[in-house]
Amino acid sequence: MPLWISCIGYESYRQIKSELIFKMNSFYSGPSIKLYGKLRNWFNFDKNNVLQVYSGKIDIGQHISSTLALISSKITGINYDQVEIIKLDTDISPNEGKTASSLSVPDSGSAIKAASLSLRKAFIKYSIKTLNVNFEDIVFDNGIIKDIKSNRSISYWDFAKTNEFNDLSIPEKFDEKEIREFNYKNDQKIEIKTINDIVTGNYEYVHDMVFPKMLHARIIRPPNYFSKFVEFTNNINHKLDELGINLLIKNSFLAILSTDEYLVVKYLDIIKQNIVWEEVKKLSEDTVYNSLKNNNKESLLVKSGGEAFYENIPSLKEFKDKNYTTLTSEYKKGYLMHGPIGPSAACAIFTDKKFTIYSHSQALYDLKLSCSEYFKIDPNNITLKFRPGSGCYGHNGADDVAFEAAVLSEKFPDIHILLKWTREDEHCWEPYGSASLNKLTGVINDEGKIVYWSNEAFSDTYMTRPSNTELHNFISYNFIINNFTKHKSTPKTKAHMGIHRNLDPLYDFGENRLVKNLVHDLPLRTSALRTLGAFSNVIALECFLNELAKTKNINPFEIRINHLRDERAINVIKNLKDHMIIDIQIDGSYRGIGFSRYKNSAAYCAVGVELKVYDDLEIKLINAWISVDAGEVAYEDGIKAQVEGGFIQAASWSLYEEVKFDTKEIISKDWDTYKIIEFDNIPNIKTSVIDQKGFPYLGVGEVVAGPTGAAISNAIADALGQTVKTMPFTKEIITKELLEN
Partner 1 sequence: MSKIECNLNINGKNKTVNIHEDKPLIFVIRDELGLTGTKLGCGLGQCGSCAVLIDGEKKNSCNVLAKDYQNCKITTIEGLKTDKGLNKVQQAFKQYNAAQCGYCTSGIIISLSSVFLKKNDPTKKEILSCLEGQLCRCGSHASVMKAIDKLKAS
Q: Give residues in contact with partner 1 (CB under 8 A).
A: 60-63, 191-192, 194-196, 198-205, 207-208, 210, 243, 260-263, 265-266, 338-343, 388-393, 420, 422-423, 637, 641, 644-649, 670-672, 676-680, 682, 685
Q: Are 689 and 11 in contact (CB under 8 A)?
A: no
> At closest approach, how far in Å is the CB of 423 from partner 1?
4
Of 1 and 210, the one with the shorter C-beta distance to partner 1 is 210
Of 474 and 535, the one with the shorter C-beta distance to partner 1 is 535
Of 37 and 388, the one with the shorter C-beta distance to partner 1 is 388
Of 198 and 276, the one with the shorter C-beta distance to partner 1 is 198
Of 9 and 343, the one with the shorter C-beta distance to partner 1 is 343
**What does the CA dihedral 157, 159, 160, 165 come to, rounded to 10 degrees?**
-160
DSSP state of 586: P
Of 214 and 327, the one with the shorter C-beta distance to partner 1 is 214
Of 432 and 479, the one with the shorter C-beta distance to partner 1 is 432
Burial class (CB in 10 A: 0-12, 13-18, 19+), 141: exposed
> Would you give the end-to-end CA distance of the chain in angstroms?
51
> At closest approach, how far in Å is the CB of 405 from partner 1?
17
> At closest approach, how far in Å is the CB of 665 from partner 1?
18
Of 201 and 721, the one with the shorter C-beta distance to partner 1 is 201
> At closest approach, how far in Å is the CB of 198 from partner 1?
4
Helix, coil or strand: residue 614? coil
Cis peptide before 222 (omega within 30 of 0): no
Of 16 and 198, the one with the shorter C-beta distance to partner 1 is 198
Of 309 and 671, the one with the shorter C-beta distance to partner 1 is 671
> At closest approach, how far in Å is the CB of 639 from partner 1?
13
Backbone region of residue 63 per phi and psi (left: phi > 0; alpha: psi in -120 to 50; beta: other values): left
> At closest approach, how far in Å is the CB of 434 from partner 1?
19
Of 593 and 651, the one with the shorter C-beta distance to partner 1 is 651
In order of 77, 179, 526, the CA distances from 183 in angstroms are: 12, 8, 46
Q: How far apart are CA 580 and CA 422, in angstroms?
A: 43
Q: How far apart are CA 702 and CA 630, in angstroms?
A: 11
> At closest approach, how far in Å is the CB of 231 from partner 1?
25
Residue 276 amino acid letter: V
In order of 41, 70, 72, the CA distances from 79 in angstroms are: 21, 9, 9
> At closest approach, how far in Å is the CB of 641 from partner 1?
6
Of 56 and 343, the one with the shorter C-beta distance to partner 1 is 343
Q: Using H for helix, E for strand and C for coil, what is the string for 187-235?
A: CCCCCCCCHHHHHHCCCCCHHHCCCCCCEEEEECCCCCCCEEEEEECCC
> On the CB side of 655, how many CA atoms lie within 13 Å of its CA?
25
How big is the chain by its Cα radius of gyration, in Å?
27
> At closest approach, how far in Å is the CB of 420 from partner 1?
7
Of 450 and 648, the one with the shorter C-beta distance to partner 1 is 648
Q: How far apart are CA 446 and CA 539, in angstroms?
A: 25
> At closest approach, how far in Å is the CB of 529 from partner 1?
12
Q: How far apart are CA 674 and CA 80, in angstroms?
A: 41
Strands 297-302 and 83-86: unpaired
- The residues, any chain, with a CB within 8 Å of residue 379's CB and separated by 6 or more, are 368, 369, 372
Q: Hey, which residues does 629 pair with through a beta bridge?
A: 604, 690
> At closest approach, how far in Å is the CB of 671 from partner 1?
4
> At closest approach, how far in Å is the CB of 428 from partner 1?
13
> At closest approach, how far in Å is the CB of 464 from partner 1?
21
Helix, coil or strand: residue 246? strand
Of 101 and 390, the one with the shorter C-beta distance to partner 1 is 390
In order of 107, 518, 602, 646, the CA distances from 102 in angstroms are: 9, 24, 8, 12
Backbone region of residue 164 per phi and psi (left: phi > 0; alpha: psi in -120 to 50; beta: other values): alpha
> At closest approach, how far in Å is the CB of 5 from partner 1?
35
Of 307 and 404, the one with the shorter C-beta distance to partner 1 is 404
Q: How far apart are CA 592 and CA 278, in angstroms?
A: 50
In order of 53, 498, 531, the CA distances from 109 in angstroms are: 11, 25, 21
Q: Which residues of 387-396 are buried (b: 16+ CB within 10 A; e: fewer)?
A: bbbbbbbbbb
Helix, coil or strand: residue 43? strand
Relative orientation angle of helices 398-411 and 364-375, to the nearest 10 degrees? 40
Of 338 and 501, the one with the shorter C-beta distance to partner 1 is 338
> At closest approach, how far in Å is the CB of 179 from partner 1?
26
> At closest approach, how far in Å is the CB of 670 from partner 1?
6
